[in-house]
Structure 1
């Protein structure tokens, strides 16, 4: 099966509500649908999410990168998939989200050609994945009200966006804990929003109040290895890297520096499943747990992340809630939710069937 050409188009998806972190505030996901066409009339689907403040990519840059990469991969055959992945990752610098979309479309085609779901191709099974639900950054009153809504819907793992004023962040977290106690497991995500000493200040306040925190995600700037290590050495809570880890080389660096307790893997950061598998192997070798997450992105790319999560036991935490914030689900027939349970299709490939917009 030979790649003939790759096409892409913008698919705007409005959100149910505005989503805010310490880095940005959005009310719409600008998804880029990528389609790989072949000489056997089979198609592979992928999706990219432009997040300029994290990956440095925009809608325009992703569309341009997909067009360029498509020219480089044209004529290559799926039977030499390893060569395709090597070419994909070496033909241009950066553009990780564009590469991720093409990567998942290649995996979609590979699994379809064998007539199996992607999770089976990767050595896994269709298992139950229970996602957390994210509480957008807002006033303590707003965040407490949103927590109440989500808990009433049945969610028991809550990811709290923080990273503003440390004292306000402490108030946010203490009020949620005081209201719901042991009913929920709390994860903290600062999105690089603190200095190292501020992060320790917040963590020690929570420790003193006996708030059970599952993990603290990306408390300081992505490049601040020393800061991450300082936080890790001065809190009882596990410290996970998110924006710090784009590549297998990043994972090696932070692990060698003993700066982290775990890694949040996102396909948009690392360039897709091919590179994610390398990061997973490094984490397994270091005996570190992983979380599989996503940007605020389209259901299709979250579906690819869920397929990967079904294959690796080292991935023990799941942050796959982005589609729950979307008003419509135009790109992933193979993904659905029963409460906090992520449900995958048994169809071949990613499980989407044909996509019609």
Structure 2
């Protein structure tokens, strides 16, 4: 069970259409495949999706920090020394996605070695998750049409609506159009990606007060602590901390400080090890935890559903598990399938997935075989 090699392989897969939101837009999945090899011949895998406009990581930076810093810290450890790996990587500031991918690849290798699914090793609460679909910026009619396609094709009835544009009325009109189209059948919540000021956010929430929103996520700047605290006091809709709560310490600060009332867990950002800590903290604080999405591909989505299904708290709400549908292709040998609004945890040991070597050869961008 000893780790003998860590790989970071950049790849690029175009999106069928760009995903647009307040902090940027994405035209291709320029991600990194991380592989952890053991002396037993086991290979654990995970996906690192960089979001430079949110966390400051780039594809090239993730490859460099893994190859030049983290690999040397990890090689020689056993798969059971996850805490040692975590503490060694913590000495390097930032780089959450690179660290998380290594962590999840180690868990995958451990599950394969033990012949157990990672979801069962983590908690094994359920074998599937309800799915929420993220709707990026578009005109109201187009966003309603996309949501209807998701309902009719995949059975999805929970939608996370990207907001944060100016004027505010652009987005409130979209949410109203969605509610009028779906009635009470759909669950709707909004995500501002820090695009509005606290005053704009409060005005928008008043305008949408009759739309039965499930949550409001990161409407105003993550570092505006007083503004966020003021905003929470203005609305009865639960406020999800996302970019403002990327570590257990930040979750504690946001919740106890009154700047949020729920938290988003993204395995792409906190792996399995730190996501466990955020989950346990949320459970102890008595707050809701939703499974977020860093515009993951299918491998990243497999990681997210693996964690989400392991616990009662994270499986209570629909998880953001469908953005891979916007990609033109993927790396998995057996694609994930969303049916009747649910995504099952892949069966089999570890993450239960395998990389298609031909697809990896087609989409990798480092020129290596």
Q: TM-score, with normalisation over the residues of structure 2?
A: 0.91
User: What is the rounded CA distance, in whole Å, between the counterparts of 1:55 and 1:268 in structure 2?
Assistant: 11
User: What is the rounded CA distance, in whole Å, between the counterparts of 1:307 and 1:351 in structure 2?
Assistant: 9
> Equivalent residues in 2 for 1:146-225 (5 A)?
146-153=146-153, 154-164=155-165, 165-207=167-209, 210-225=210-225
| Residue of structure 1 equivalent to 2:367 | none
> Equivalent residues in 2 for 1:98-113 (5 A)?
98-113=98-113
Q: TM-score, with normalisation over the residues of structure 1?
A: 0.94
Q: Does the alignment pair 1:42 with 2:42?
A: yes
The answer on whether the counterparts of 2:73 and 2:85 sit within 8 Å (CA) in structure 1 is: no
User: What is the rounded CA distance, in whole Å, between the counterparts of 1:332 and 1:22 in structure 2?
Assistant: 34
The answer on whether the counterparts of 2:164 and 2:194 sit within 8 Å (CA) in structure 1 is: yes
User: What is the rounded CA distance, in whole Å, between the counterparts of 2:53 and 2:195 in structure 1?
Assistant: 13
Per-residue displacement from partner, 1:128-185 (whole Å, max 9, x unpaired)? Answer: 2011111111222332332333333332111111101212222222222223221211
Shift of 1:334: 7.2
User: What is the rounded CA distance, in whole Å, between the counterparts of 2:207 and 2:185 in structure 1?
Assistant: 20
Shift of 1:110: 1.3
User: What is the rounded CA distance, in whole Å, between the counterparts of 2:215 and 2:32 in structure 1?
Assistant: 31
* Cα distance, 1:89–1:336 mapped onto 2, change above 3 Å: farther
* Cα distance, 1:193–1:248 mapped onto 2, change above 3 Å: same
| Residue of structure 2 equivalent to 1:279 | 278
| Residue of structure 1 equivalent to 2:296 | 297
> Equivalent residues in 2 for 1:47-66 (5 A)?
47-66=47-66
Q: Does the alignment pair 1:97 with 2:83?
A: no
The answer on whether the counterparts of 2:115 and 2:349 sit within 8 Å (CA) in structure 1 is: yes
| Residue of structure 2 equivalent to 1:78 | 79
| Residue of structure 2 equivalent to 1:120 | 120
Q: Any unmatched runs of 5+ in structure 1?
A: none
The answer on whether the counterparts of 1:335 and 1:344 sit within 8 Å (CA) in structure 2 is: no
User: What is the rounded CA distance, in whole Å, between the counterparts of 1:333 and 1:7 in structure 2?
Assistant: 22
| Residue of structure 2 equivalent to 1:326 | 327
| Residue of structure 1 equivalent to 2:70 | 69
| Residue of structure 1 equivalent to 2:352 | 351
Shift of 1:294: 1.3
User: What is the rounded CA distance, in whole Å, between the counterparts of 2:332 and 2:26 in structure 1?
Assistant: 20
Q: Any unmatched runs of 5+ in structure 2?
A: 361-369
Give the superposed CA RMSD.
1.6
What SS does the corresponding residue of 2:44 show, helix, strand or coil? strand
Shift of 1:125: 4.1
Q: Does the alignment pair 1:142 with 2:145?
A: no
What SS does the corresponding residue of 1:346 show, helix, strand or coil? coil
What SS does the corresponding residue of 1:131 show, helix, strand or coil? strand
Shift of 1:14: 1.6
